[in-house]
Amino acid sequence: MSVETQKETLGFQTEVKQLLHLMIHSLYSNKEIFLRELISNASDAVDKLRFEALSKPELLEGGAELKIRVSYDKDAKTVTLEDNGIGMSREDVITHLGTIAKSGTADFMKNLSGDQKKDSHLIGQFGVGFYSAFIVADQVEVFSRRAGLAASEGVHWSSKGEGEFEVATVEKTDRGTRIVLHLKSGEDEFADGWRLRNIIKKYSDHIALPIELPKEQAAAEGEEAPAQEWEVVNRASALWTRPRTEVKDEEYQEFYKHIAHDYENPLSWSHNKVEGKLEYSSLLYVPARAPFDLYQREAPKGLKLYVQRVFVMDQAESFLPLYLRFIKGVVDSNDLSLNVSREILQKDPIIDSMKSALTKRVLDMLEKLAKNEPEQYKGFWKNFGQVMKEGPAEDFANKEKIAGLLRFASTQGEEGEQVVSLAEYLARAKEGQDKIYYLTGETYAQVKNSPHLEVFRKKGIEVLLLTDRIDEWLMSYLSEFDSKSFVDVARGDLDLGNLDSEEEKKEAEEVAKAKEGLVERIKTALGDAVSEVRVSHRLTDSPAILAIGEQDLGMQMRQILEASGQKVPDSKPIFEFNPAHPLIGKLDGEQSEERFGDLSHILFDQAALAAGDSLKDPAAYVRRLNKLLVELSV
């Protein structure tokens, strides 16, 4: 072994110690997965070299045949994995193998569920796959040299996974990384060619570069051992370039796990080759569960970009809109130049064409999933529904298509579950109904029991119940679906159109005219607290409600703006009362203006509470209510 210099012992980051403790105590229920993780890392290292060598061909150092080699020594009880990829400098080794960046173990620990089988597979997702080596090894050594550095700048990293590691500078003639696993007692099964071959075929057959194992060969008696020969044990061809008919479902699933660092199979995938004016291949996946950073819009996202099968970029976000940031996959173009950058991607008209086609392909895939696998789609919506609701605002061209994929709770749907599609809503709409009615609010219980729904219950009209924080913002961009306009049942002057008979309309006009005096009295009593007072057509059981002006912000939007520190425009609610309610009858007959004012304010505050709003002056409400209770008890 080369002479070691600049040797130092360093401590692991605290989070790494926690992770190693889990590894050493067999977090993995399926130990063989360590090889998948290490091969995946080696594949990434080779991809990075390919990309950097586009502008610096000297990095290849005359060795342009890129590959991964896996070998073993039964007597020494070791497994060695070697790649001739980008390699690491001393600083890289200390950074990447001593700490966990970005997602880190804090997120990893937070996501542990206590189910050993599920927890074991979180490793790759959190970018800490290297540490899986300690599942089967009690000592791990890494020899690496970054491409472009001198042979004297090789680095040797070693650890027994007990809280510290050693780093030393060594001579390393070839670029890349070699990892030597010293197997634990009882893990000898992995120092076996047949076992390693099967693991590679099972998990890494899709890797698009050769993975080699030593050929099994024995020397004839009395002869020297033959020179070591190697054989490729995986297909070593880019999976997305193969015809769909030749790719098995299991291969698609394993490839997804490799690129997404996920342990679950995807819900769906779409593999296509486009020829003609534009030429590119795409393989797109819908995950079964949400990543931990789904709601961090600035988090890394996008497809893996290849140009003529050469890896170029890991997270090319220009090919799909932001609301589809959960989609994983690969796009391989023949029409882009190999020196493409993120800045160039943003300005290239070819990208716009590809983005439009890929977006449509994803939406078609989701439509198919919703139609053919409704239970699967339910799970998809639970995980990604709120992100999909960003779509109508971001993607005007596909607004109708996205709207068809949305799911809502409703007065006729399952208890609180967002399962009703707009198509289902319209299919069971009342005869003559030309509107889609909805109500937004903070909680399902609040909107389900809202007084605004009373007339709809009476007439058997279904109303969509929207309780996600994003819903009011969504509806400001979603004006209609299938030529039917959306109506917020808490906004403006409710008009049920053909759903009200001529007799009902005439009666409502007569009642409104008869109560003009009461309207004026209440308006005077409430003063600046309201923008308008009117007789309600919405109520059957409650005495009063507050409606929102046609152009005013609803409660959800006000809260979003306030939380972001933006100034919220002033607006006052509309007070509507039910002329048939006994309380309104008593109010109408009240002679004392002081008492009339107190009762009007109590009804106003109760209507605000029923709408889920907070009272501007709770003490005044309590004082008026107590005063009324004392009077009633006398």
| pLDDT 10s digits, 36-47 | 889 988 988 998
Share of the chain above pLDDT 90, in %: 40
- Give residue 421's identity as a one-letter amino acid code: S
Query: What are the pLDDT digits (tens) for 607-628?
Result: 888 877 778 888 988 888 888 8
List of residues 6+ apart from 330 with CB closer than 8 A: 240, 259, 281, 282, 283, 303, 304, 305, 306
Report, as an integer, the average pLDDT of 67-81.
96
Report, as an integer, the average pLDDT of 531-546.
88
Task: Identify the weakest region by mean pLDDT among 89-93, 130-134, 464-468, 600-604.
Answer: 130-134
The pLDDT assigned to 120 comes to: 47
Residue 231 confidence (pLDDT) above 90 = yes
Residue 126 confidence (pLDDT) above 70 = no
> Strand, helix or coil at 612?
coil
344 — pLDDT class (breaks 50, 70, 90)? low
Query: What are the pLDDT digits (tens) for 283-303?
Result: 999 999 887 777 776 777 889
Residue 534 confidence (pLDDT) above 50 = yes
Report, as an integer, the average pLDDT of 524-530.
89
What is the distance between the alpha carbons of residues 183 and 141, in angstroms, rounded to a whole number? 11
Q: Is 303:329 a contact under the CB 8 Å cutoff?
A: yes
Residue 125 confidence (pLDDT) above 80 = no
Report, as an integer, the average pLDDT of 513-540.
89
Report, as an integer, the average pLDDT of 486-506.
82
Report, as an integer, the average pLDDT of 296-317.
79
- Please tell me which of 104-113, 433-442, 505-514 the model is most confident about, judged by mean pLDDT: 433-442
Residue ranges of the annotated binding site for ATP are 37, 41, 83, 88, 102-104, 125-130, 177, 342
Residue 119 confidence (pLDDT) above 70 = no
The pLDDT assigned to 222 comes to: 60
Residue ranges of the annotated binding site are 37, 41, 83, 88, 102-104, 125-130, 177, 342
409 — pLDDT class (breaks 50, 70, 90)? very high
Residue 549 confidence (pLDDT) above 70 = yes
The pLDDT assigned to 130 comes to: 83
The pLDDT assigned to 613 comes to: 78
**Residue 408 carries which DSSP code?**
B
Share of the chain above pLDDT 70, in %: 87
214 — pLDDT class (breaks 50, 70, 90)? very high
Q: 134: buried, middle or exposed (CB in 10 Å: 19+, 13-18, 0-12)?
A: buried
Residue 121 confidence (pLDDT) above 60 = no
109 — pLDDT class (breaks 50, 70, 90)? low
Q: Is 86:181 a contact under the CB 8 Å cutoff?
A: no
Comparing CA positions, the residue from 486, 459, 482 lying closest to residue 474 is 486
Alpha carbon of residue 55 to chain centroid: 34
C-alpha torsion sign, points 195, 244, 323, 310 = positive
Query: What are the pLDDT digits (tens) for 180-209?
Result: 999 999 999 999 999 999 999 888 887 888
The pLDDT assigned to 257 comes to: 87
Residue 341 confidence (pLDDT) above 70 = no
φ, ψ for residue 53, nearest 5 deg: -75, -15
Residue 75 confidence (pLDDT) above 90 = yes
Token pair 């700490």 in the structure block, residue: 99
Q: Is 228:208 a contact under the CB 8 Å cutoff?
A: no
What is the distance between the alpha carbons of residues 12 and 92, in angstroms, rounded to a whole number? 14
Mean of all residue pLDDT scores within the chain: 85
Exposed e or buried b per residue across 485-514, where buried means at least 16 C-beta atoms within 10 angstroms of its C-beta: ebbbbbbeebebeebbeeeeeeeeeeeeee
Query: What are the pLDDT digits (tens) for 559-580?
Result: 666 666 777 777 788 898 999 8
Residue 112 confidence (pLDDT) above 60 = no
What is the distance between the alpha carbons of residues 38 and 258, in angstroms, rounded to a whole number? 11
Residue 218 or residue 250, greater confidence = 250
> Strand, helix or coil at 157?
strand
The residues pairing with 331 across neighbouring beta strands, listed in sequence order, are 282, 305
Token output for 52: 């950097």
Exposed e or buried b per residue across 363-374, where buried means at least 16 C-beta atoms within 10 angstroms of its C-beta: bebbeebbeeee
110 — pLDDT class (breaks 50, 70, 90)? low
Task: Identify the weakest region by mean pLDDT among 43-47, 511-515, 630-634.
Answer: 630-634
What is the distance between the alpha carbons of residues 180 and 593, in angstroms, rounded to a whole number? 90
- Give residue 544's identity as a one-letter amino acid code: A
Report, as an integer, the average pLDDT of 404-412.
94
Sketch out the chain's domains with CATH numbers: 5-217 (3.30.565.10), 239-382 (3.30.230.80), 407-497 (3.40.50.11260), 502-536+539-633 (1.20.120.790)
How much is the pTM? 0.73
The residues pairing with 420 across neighbouring beta strands, listed in sequence order, are 408
Task: Identify the weakest region by mean pLDDT among 247-256, 337-346, 438-447.
Answer: 337-346
Give the number of C-alpha atoms closer than 13 A to the C-alpha of residue 484, restricted to the C-beta side: 18
